[in-house]
Amino acid sequence: MKILFITNDLIAGSVAHELVKEGHDVKLYIKERDRRGNLDNIVKKISNWRTELKWVGKDGLIVFDDIGYGHTQEKLRKQGYTVFGGCEKGDMLETDREYGQKIFFECGMKTVELRDFDDMDDAVIYAKEHKKAWVIKQNDHAAKSLNYVSHFSDGRDAIGVLKNYLQNKSVNRERITLHERVEGVEIGIGRYFNGKDWIGPIEYNLEHKKFFPGDIGPTTSEMGTLGWYDDDEKNKLYVESVAKFKNYLASINFKGDFEINCIVNENGIYPLEATPRMGSPIVHLHTEIHESHWGEFLYAIAKGDNYKLKWNRGFGIVLVMAVPPFPYAKKMKGSIFYGMNIYFDNVNEEEFEHIHFEEVSIRSNHISRPDSGKYYISDSRGYVLYVTGIGETVEIAQEKVYTLANKIIIPKVIYRHDIGTKFINQSRSLLKRWGYF
């Protein structure tokens, strides 16, 4: 099948690679110019996706892995193209947090106060006048380094952080959100939707956003995720969250991956934000869990068809393997890591199926280069690759992931060694006590 894969910055670039491995004819468009050097000699890339519409045709598949294309997606569907991804209203759930909270409330979820601010000065004034434990958030795909969770009930530390940001010209114009803090266990609940109904099982995941083991340090986009699938539609976590959105998603003709990140406690489930798109790194864990092929699954969703997804039970872990400047700078000019070889000498063919690339390319064959055909770091952000594993228990999944990670040689690599441990020691017992797990 011909597949046109469109991404902003490779959120799910590894899925394009999986589609190639399945035998599909894939063309990959990367919107961000400075990300286009990734996946060289791995996936065929193009510089203009619109000129490829005739090539993909009405019988092929167009995949959008990110938000920001809602109007375009709706237009393409009206023209008869088969499109996997979101829509205008779907995009708004993520880009406009206040709108998202409004829809959460209308769909029957419990919500707490949230305010968006275009001016950071206004956020400081509001936090002073409304003394609460505030969470400072950035929007869209902005680096999460400005995010902060207040420790004090009057929010004085959050106010201090915002005042400090105001002194920094590089960040004081950022659009931010203040969200009332809720104590509990943070968990994501998601499921695929085909424009009319849910497809496949329910996904649950626990993100690990802090830079250091033990949830210490600055907030990153993510260091790794624990996740699993379940087909019990009576589970309280599902019934009181994502399940409530069936009619809404059908009304906007959403055809993609939909997730709500929540805080749960003894009083209920509180939505934090919606992710109406493929998410990273959880999408790499989907590859691990799925037995069915990506191509036929995405095509069925885009067509609005039913599909019986074959999948594996158990706990899965996806681990981020990174290098500096991660997690601080978006790019680092003159990065000493760009171009460094990655060594998979001790990784066998079966193990390689559990490795998923983002900032990786293969060197072109050239007689003058002894490392022709080798893998190397092909960008300067630091999100190199992801390792996944699944097992009957979290401990088994951990052993698989870290055993494989230790075989991959990336000079000066960064990763957390405790993905899933907090769930074992604390979160699982709390979820059980509250009747969610």
Q: How far apart are CA 264 and CA 66, in angstroms?
A: 27
Domain spanning 2-87 has what CATH number? 3.40.50.720
Amino acid identity of 411?
A: P
DSSP of 227-256, one letter per residue?
EEEE--TT-HHHHTTGGGGHHHHHHTT-EE
Q: Which amino acid is at 315?
A: F
pLDDT at 327 exceeding the cut of 90: no
Class of domain 186-314+426-433: alpha beta
Q: Pick from 106, 173, 169, 109: which is nearest to 139 by CA?
A: 173
CATH architecture of 315-418: Alpha-Beta Complex (3.90)
The secondary element (H helix, E strand) that includes residue 116 is strand 114-117
Instruction: Kindly state the tokens that stand for 287.
Output: 């590859």
Given a cut of 90, whether residue 373 has pLDDT beyond it is no
Residues 6+ apart with CB under 8 A from 290: 297, 309, 310, 311, 312
> Residue 165's pLDDT is what?
87
Location of each CATH 3.40.50.720 domain in the chain: 2-87
**What angle do the packed helices 282-289 and 13-21 form, to 10 degrees?**
20
Instruction: Provide CATH 3.30.1490.20 ranges for the chain.
Output: 113-180
pLDDT digits (tens, 9 = 90+) for 86-129: 999 999 999 999 999 999 999 999 999 999 998 899 999 999 99
Average pLDDT for residues 275-292, to the nearest whole number? 98
- Residue 368 predicted with pLDDT over 60: no
CATH of 113-180, one of 3.90.480.20, 2.60.120.560, 3.30.1490.20, 2.160.10.10: 3.30.1490.20
pLDDT tens-digit readout, 164-191: 988 887 776 778 899 999 999 999 999 9
Whether residue 142 is predicted with pLDDT greater than 90 in this model: the reply is no
pLDDT at 262: 97
C-alpha–C-alpha distance, residues 385 and 322, integer Å: 7
Helix (H) or strand (E) holding 120: helix 120-129
Residue pair 25/1 in contact (Cβ under 8 Å)? The answer is: yes
Tell how far CA 127 is from the center of its chain. Answer: 30
Q: Residue 367: pLDDT above 80? A: no
Q: Global pTM?
A: 0.94
261 within 8 A of 94, measured Cβ to Cβ: no
Token code pair at residue 66: 């990110």
Sheet holding 83-84, edge to edge: 45-46, 25-30, 2-7, 61-64, 83-84
375 φ, ψ (degrees, to nearest 5): -85, 145
pLDDT of residue 370: 64
Question: Which candidate, 233, 148, 219, 147, places its Cα nearest to that of 189?
Answer: 233
**Alpha-carbon gap, residue 85 to 426, rounded angstroms:** 35
Q: Which of 70, 71, 57 is nearest to 2 (CA)?
A: 57
For residue 283, the surrounding DSSP H or E stretch is helix 282-289
Which residues make up the CATH 3.90.600.10 domain(s) of the chain?
A: 315-418
Mean pLDDT across 203-216: 97
Helix 120-129 × helix 156-166 angle, to 10° = 160
Buried b (16+ CB within 10 A) or exposed e, 133-169: bbbbbbeebbbbbbbbebeeeebbebbebbeebbeee
Which stretch of 13-17, 143-147, 359-363 has the lowest confidence by average pLDDT?
143-147
**What tens digit of pLDDT does each residue of 54-65 get?**
999 999 999 999
Condensed to tens digits (0 to 9), the pLDDT of residues 374-400 reads: 999 999 999 999 999 999 999 999 999
Indicate the pLDDT class of residue 140, thresholds 50, 70 and 90.
Answer: low
In angstroms, rounded to a whole number, what is the distance separating the alpha carbons of residues 270 and 261?
9
The C-alpha atoms of residue 28 and residue 225 are separated, in whole angstroms, by 26
Which runs of consecutive H residues, i.e. helices, occur in 151-265?
156-166, 236-239, 246-251
| Among 163, 164, 154, residue whose Cα is nearest residue 130 | 154
> Would you state the structure tokens that stand for residue 102, as one six-digit string?
């409004």
Which of these, 203, 211, 100, 95, lies nearest to 145 by C-alpha position? 211
Backbone φ, ψ for residue 114 (5° rounding): -145, 135
User: Is 80 exceeded by the pLDDT of residue 258?
Assistant: yes
Taken as a whole, the chain contains a residue count of: 437
pLDDT at residue 329 tops 80: no
Task: For 367-436, give the DSSP string.
Answer: TT-TTTT-EEE--SSSEEEEEEEEESSHHHHHHHHHHHHTT-B-TT-B--S-TTHHIIIIIHHHHHHTT-
CB 178 within 8 A of CB 135: yes
Least Cα distance to 200 among 83, 65, 310 occurs for 310
What's the pLDDT score for residue 282? 98
Average pLDDT, the chain: 94
